[in-house]
Chains A and B, each alone.
Chain A
Amino acid sequence: MMVAAVIAAALIVGGTVGYLLLKEDEPQTLKLATTTSTYDSGLLDYILPVFEEEHDCTVDVIAVGSGAAITLGQNGDVDVLLVHSPAAEITFVEAGYGESRSLVMYNNFVIVGPTEDPIDTMSSANASQAFQKIYDNGTAGNATFISRADASGTYTKELSIWATLGYNKTEVMAFPDSWYIQSGQGMGAVLDMAEEMDAYTLSDDATYYQRVSEDLIPNLNMTYSGDSALFNQYSVIPVNATMWTHVNHTLAMEFKNWLVSDDGQDLIASYERYDMQLFFPNAEGYVPSTESLPSIQTFGAVCATVPAVRTGR
């Protein structure tokens, strides 16, 4: 028994020491915290190898919920964040946890609902009006809405739209659960729920398309999109190196610079999945090399094609 304990201890200690030593010799590592929806879109698997090659390093991606990513940044457990929760990001930077926050790209949130769109959100003039319809129909018992109800950027966006109608967070959380469901789940799971319950929800487009392309949500369709209020802005934020001296600040800044550089931005724009461009680079000063129209056009194209994919509904 003693022998086993000694061997086990030796292995652990040896492994740790070896790991720590090897860490020095290995190519540099950059710890990046991002959200699960960003990671699941596949963008990082596409663009990171280019960065890793050019800078002879490895990027370790830790994909967690938006709130968790920011917490990791606050605690100095990662070197850089790539998130899409502007209000929280600004608080993060003002509190001194991050520096050189830079806009990187955007995609969109879309309102998703039953294919027939019984409450006609599609004809809404803007997102607020669509939400108003959801509220009116919900309280009347004709519609259900499923909310992320967590610390995600999607939920923050949802709250901002409710705010335009005069509802603050406390009031939103008090919406009756007869029509307003606070799930606390990830985006994929929420879409699955909406599919089961013929409900409306707010989703980021990447997760929506991923679900559509794998034919996981045949009952749902994108019912409203295009309002600039539904922009989903992504930013990159290196963690404050004065507060956390151990972070790989040089590499984090190189990463940030690369993301907002023309090369990085073009690369992001070239990422295609489900036969469409998912992310639209909008770093300061970036001019797209090809005329990229507001995403509403791409959405329009999808709106036209997706119903065609559905048969028998």
Chain B
Amino acid sequence: MVGTASELLEVTILSIYVSGMATILGSAIGIPLGALIGLKEFGGKGAVKTITYTLYGFPPVLSGLFIYYIFSRAGPLGEFGILFTPTAMILAETLLVIPLVTGITITSVVEVDKAIKDTVKALGATPKQSVLTVMREAWVGLVMACMVGFGRVIAEVGAAYLVGGNIDGKTRVLTTAIMLETRMGHFEWAMALGAVLLTVALVVFFFLRMLQEKEML
């Protein structure tokens, strides 16, 4: 039960670690994936985009269940013993980040002016160079994608609880702590935890915004 300052610090740091890593990992996959989907022509492109956007609504607890089934001892990858560790939480949250980052990246690169895409091609860029240059032009959108991804996972509780187990000192994060306190009727303390969570988000988004608005040279 959260009550001391050091416990509060513990859950806060773990929240940042788990959601931060999930955002980094999810963006590392989602941004290149989104750029490729947005810029390359291929059969079934429309269907892929629709599926990506549909996955925005993927319930976090379902992601948790999926990871549970894979990493449970009864499951295929059970022998790694990842269940009830922050790693499992990161994996479950990464699954939630990927569709969001991919989808927003798709939109961002598609929105880059066609004239820029043509100019880049005309200047002699290979297809790979073109994609990278367009991605750089879509910088604002790409940072936005990461922001939205982080926002989703710092706030989710279903997956974190299911694959983490809310173990005191090991896998308890702000959202699962809030759920615990709410369950026990400590509504005020739960709200206080919520305020801490929003503060964390505020700080992170502040830095991301600075990143987004930096002058490109």
Q: Which residues of A contact B (CB under 8 A)?
A: 1, 4-5, 7-9, 11-12, 15-16, 19-20, 23, 31, 36, 40, 42, 45, 60-64, 74-77, 186, 188-189, 192, 210-211, 214, 216, 244, 246
Provided the pairs A62-B166, A192-B185 are in contact, do residues A1 and B28 lie with their beta carbons within 8 angstroms? yes
User: A246 touching B184 by the CB < 8 A rule?
Assistant: no
- Which residues 160-199 of B sit at the A interface, judged by CB distance below 8 A? 165-168, 170, 183-186
Q: Which of B31, B74, B80, B135 makes the CB contact (< 8 A) with A76? A: B74
Provided the pairs A16-B82, A62-B166, A246-B79 are in contact, do residues A8 and B25 lie with their beta carbons within 8 angstroms? yes
Would you list the 6 A-B pairs with minimal beta carbon distance, nearest first?
A5-B28, A76-B73, A62-B165, A75-B74, A8-B24, A60-B167
Complex CA distance for A1 and B138, rounded to whole angstroms: 13
Q: Which residues of A lie under 8 Å from residue B100 when comparing CB positions? A: none
Interface string of B66-105 (1 = CB under 8 A from A): 0000001111001111111111001000000000000000
Q: Number of B interface residues, CB 8 Å?
A: 35
Q: Which residues of B lie under 8 Å from residue A15 when comparing CB positions? A: 21, 86-87
Provided the pairs A8-B25, A77-B72 are in contact, do residues A1 and B166 lie with their beta carbons within 8 angstroms? no
Provided the pairs A12-B87, A15-B87 are in contact, do residues A244 and B170 lie with their beta carbons within 8 angstroms? no
User: B73 touching A1 by the CB < 8 A rule?
Assistant: no
Complex CA distance for A31 and B24, rounded to whole angstroms: 30
User: A20 touching B81 by the CB < 8 A rule?
Assistant: yes
B52 at the interface (CB under 8 A from A): no
User: A61 touching B167 by the CB < 8 A rule?
Assistant: yes
- Which residues 13-36 of B sit at the A interface, judged by CB distance below 8 A? 21, 24-25, 27-29, 31-32
Complex CA distance for A192 and B183, rounded to whole angstroms: 10
Could you jot down 13 A-B contacts, CB within 8 Å? A1-B132, A8-B24, A9-B25, A16-B82, A60-B167, A62-B167, A76-B78, A77-B74, A192-B185, A210-B185, A246-B73, A246-B79, A246-B81
User: B84 touching A77 by the CB < 8 A rule?
Assistant: yes
Complex CA distance for A8 and B32, rounded to whole angstroms: 14
User: A19 touching B183 by the CB < 8 A rule?
Assistant: no
User: B184 touching A210 by the CB < 8 A rule?
Assistant: yes
Question: What 5 additional pairs, Cβ within 8 angstroms, besides A15-B86, A15-B87, A75-B74?
Answer: A11-B24, A16-B80, A16-B87, A31-B84, A74-B74
Q: Which residues of A lie under 8 Å from residue B165 when comparing CB positions? A: 60, 62-64
Complex CA distance for A5 and B86, rounded to whole angstroms: 19
B216 at the interface (CB under 8 A from A): no
Q: Which residues of B contact A (CB under 8 A)?
A: 1, 21, 24-25, 27-29, 31-32, 72-75, 78-87, 90, 132, 135, 165-168, 170, 183-186
Shortest beta-carbon distance, A270 to chain B, in Å? 20
Q: Which of A4, A45, A216, A244 makes the CB contact (< 8 A) with B185? A: A216
Q: Which residues of B lie under 8 Å from residue A75 when comparing CB positions? A: 72-75
Complex CA distance for A76 and B1, rounded to whole angstroms: 26
Q: Which of B84, B183, B186 makes the CB contact (< 8 A) with A36? A: B183
Complex CA distance for A246 and B81, rounded to whole angstroms: 9
Q: Which of B75, B78, B79, B84 makes the CB contact (< 8 A) with A60? A: B84
Complex CA distance for A1 and B132, rounded to whole angstroms: 9
Q: Which residues of B lie under 8 Å from residue A31 when comparing CB positions? A: 84
Provided the pairs A60-B165, A188-B184, A211-B185 are in contact, do residues A8 and B87 lie with their beta carbons within 8 angstroms? no
Complex CA distance for A61 and B73, rounded to whole angstroms: 17
User: B1 touching A45 by the CB < 8 A rule?
Assistant: yes
Q: Which residues of B lie under 8 Å from residue A36 when comparing CB positions? A: 183
User: A62 touching B84 by the CB < 8 A rule?
Assistant: yes
Q: Which of B27, B80, B83, B166 makes the CB contact (< 8 A) with A63? A: B166
Q: Which residues of B lie under 8 Å from residue A192 when comparing CB positions? A: 185
User: B183 touching A189 by the CB < 8 A rule?
Assistant: yes
Complex CA distance for A7 and B27, rounded to whole angstroms: 12
Q: Which residues of B lie under 8 Å from residue A16 when comparing CB positions? A: 80, 82, 87
